Amino acid sequence: MTLLWGIFGIDMNVWLDAFLRLQIVVIVMTVTVMGLIYLERKFVGRIQMRLGPMRTGPFGTLQSIADALKLLTKEDVRPATADFWLFELAPYVTFVPVFMTLLALPFMEGWFVRDLQLGLFYIVAISGVTVIGYLMAGWASDNKYALLGAVRSAAQLISYEIPLILGVLAVSMVAGSLNLNDITRQQDTIPNLLLQPLPFMILLIAILAELSRRPFDIPIGESELVGGPWVEYSGIRWSIIFALTEYAGLWGFSILGALVFLGGWQFPFGTSSFWGDFDFLYQLVLVFTKSFFIILTMMWISATFPRLRIDQLMAFCWKVLLPFGFLQVLVNGIVLTYADDETVRDVLLFLTSGALLVVMTYAIYLATRQPSREERVGSMIAARSAQ
């Protein structure tokens, strides 16, 4: 087979290899998405003093499969007034970019579908295409809720793209590369989280917003817009959007965060290969553990915070995340230009970024400060005695 293609000057091995890797990514992604849905239901259930799914399979482990079967057998309803092509295509336009971000991610050392020199740039650029699917769905549904949701999501996703870029840009400045392998390998002693805590926070918030998860689920807004752009979708189309896009995106972004900030497949603070050829085993475990740490943090945030309003969300992006993101990039530039010694450089990066994080937190605190509960109850009692 390889020989046959070789006649035409095509190196089949490369394509076959890429194809197989793609298949593995598809299978792992599908299983992980099902696992993530189960995990979220269990985790949020625990936060809410519930058990979560318990009936299907031992401890409800088959719940995701049961849900998938149910959604597959449901009728695929399309409103009569919907725009046929846009409506039918929107789920795929939403999902394919999210899946494409997974192609450049190294899940362990040297294992990826394609090793791109501009991997980080590619991921950020491709994930921004998702918003077109949102707009298509919202417009084509011929539903006012969907339209409002689509407009909201366009505003939100495009705005939060910028802090996301600034967050990873700061790190790529430190690493001096946009290749994810290089960025990860450079963290063999100190993970970027310590060097750049502020961009990590910005990235975490921006990912939450990019995925429209609570507290940034303004486009979906269950209590106001019912389901946002997806309100008219049902059955398998809805599950492609909701389950695959949201959870695959969550997984992909958190692996990106684990690679860029938490040192990826390496133990923190330096280690050497100790299993030789079987290194990939612990590397895989490490990448997944670190990404699940990020995922669970996001689920925790999602489960406990109320939703922001659209103007507050935009203000938070443009007035807080963006200026501090730019400041971080500026400071990084100065530090990287003038600090020659590596230790001095690391210490300076940690101190400046940490200081910026403290300043940002304090600025948010000052902007939203409220009287304490004691003061409020005091004022209530004062108002009572005045009358």
Partner 1 sequence: MPHEDQLQVEHELETIDLNINIGPQHPATHGVFRMVIEVDGEVVTDVVPHIGYMHRGGEKLSENMDYRQAIGYQDRTEYLSQFNAELCYVLAVEKLAPALAPPERAQYIRIILAELNRISSHFMFLGAFGTDLGVFGTSFVYAFRERENLLDLFEEVTGDRLMYAYFRPGGVAWDVPANFKSRVEWVCEQALIGASDMDRLLTDNEIFIARTRGIGILSAEDAIDYGVTGPMLRASGVRQDLRKDEPYAIYDRFDFDIPIGTNGDCYDRYLVRLQEIRESVKIVRQALEQLPDGPILPERMPRLLRPSAGEVYMRCEDPRGEYGIYLISKGTTQPYRLRMRSPSFCNLSALRQMTIGHYVADAVTILGSTDIVLCSVDR
Distance of CA 102 to the CA centre of its chain: 12
* Euclidean distance between CA atoms 115 and 112, whole angstroms: 6
What residues between 35 and 74 interact with partner 1 by CB under 8 A?
44, 47-50
Residue among 16, 7, 24, 9 at smallest CA distance from 112: 24
Minimum CB separation of residue 302 from partner 1 in Å reads 6
Residue 108 backbone phi and psi in degrees, to 5: -150, 180
Binding status of residue 374 toward partner 1 by CB under 8 A: no
Considering only residues 158, 304, 358, 359, which one is a binding residue for partner 1 as defined by CB under 8 A?
Answer: 304
- The three-state secondary structure class of 385 is helix
* Euclidean distance between CA atoms 158 and 254, whole angstroms: 19
> Which x/- pattern, by CB under 8 A, does the window 221-260 give for partner 1?
xxxxxx----------------------------------
Minimum CB separation of residue 323 from partner 1 in Å reads 19
Binding status of residue 302 toward partner 1 by CB under 8 A: yes
What does the DSSP assignment read for 162-208?
A: HHHHHHHHHHHHHHT---HHHHHHGGGSS-HHHH-HHHHHHHHHHHH
Minimum CB separation of residue 139 from partner 1 in Å reads 14
Which residues does 322 contact at the CB level (< 8 Å), separation at least 6?
162, 163, 166
> Which x/- pattern, by CB under 8 A, does the window 129-148 give for partner 1?
---------------xx--x
Going from the C-alpha of 291 to that of each of 108, 191, 213, 284, the distances in angstroms are: 12, 14, 17, 11
Considering only residues 255, 258, 308, 331, which one is a binding residue for partner 1 as defined by CB under 8 A?
Answer: 308
**Stretch in the footprint of partner 1 (CB under 8 A) among 91-99, 133-141, 243-251, 297-305:** 297-305
Minimum CB separation of residue 386 from partner 1 in Å reads 9
Our CB check for partner 1 shows the closer of 21 and 307 to be 307
- Report the interface residues with partner 1, using CB under 8 A: 44, 47-50, 144-145, 148, 152, 214-215, 217-218, 221-226, 302-312, 364, 368, 370, 372-373, 376-377, 379-381, 383-384, 387
